[in-house]
Amino acid sequence: MKMIVSLVAALTVGAAAAMAQAPSVDKEIAERIAPVDKTCMQGDKCAAAVAAAPAASGGAPRSGEAIFKAHCTTCHTPGAAGAPKFGNAADWAPRIAKGMDTLYTHAINGFNAMPPRGLCTDCSDDEVKGAVDYMTSHSK
């Protein structure tokens, strides 16, 4: 009998502790699965206290070649989805003829099948431009 009372007491204490933690856990879960329009995003006032993530290279800009090799080569080496092939002057000539500013704009904002920044979400505008310069300089 004494053992049953001890067991019931232990279960009661354990249940009380779990219930005390439940609201905290429930709140954390609710915050993690909140709809996008309810989440504090970078650039929002609510995110002002959150430090921006450092650049992948530790703050120093990466070279156009490094960006190309890390992000652009996937499509621009085989010419996937109509991407101009790296080193192929015939593919690049009509694009270069439109001017570098147009190429930069397309690379940064996306164009046709190319997503913005070629999906390099941590690339600065200058790094994207460097990758464009690298590809075009090897395709003339």
Taking the domains of the chain in order of start, what are their residue ranges?
A: 2-47, 64-137
Kindly tell me if the per-residue pLDDT of 62 is higher than 80: yes
Closest CA to 124 of 46, 41, 45, 53: 53
Q: Which CATH superfamily is domain 64-137 in?
A: Cytochrome c-like domain (1.10.760.10)
Displacement of CA 44 from its chain's centroid (Å): 17
Average pLDDT of the chain? Answer: 79
Q: What percent of the chain shows pLDDT beyond 70?
A: 64
**Terminal Cα-to-Cα distance of the chain (whole angstroms):** 91
Count other Cβ atoms within 10 Å, centred on residue 97. Answer: 8
Task: Return the pLDDT at 29.
Answer: 73
Kindly tell me if the per-residue pLDDT of 54 is higher than 70: no
Q: What is the pLDDT of residues 69-127, one digit of tens each?
A: 999 999 999 999 999 999 999 999 999 999 999 999 999 999 999 999 999 999 999 99
Closest CA to 135 of 82, 70, 88: 88
Phi-psi region of 18 (alpha: psi -120 to 50; beta: other; left: phi over 0): alpha
Task: Return the pLDDT at 53.
Answer: 42
Mean pLDDT for 36-47 is 61
Residue 68 and residue 74 in contact, taking contact as beta carbons nearer than 8 Å: no
- Comparison of pLDDT for 24 and 23, the residue scoring more: 24
- Rounded Cα–Cα distance for residues 13 and 19 (Å): 10
The one-character DSSP state at 66 is: H
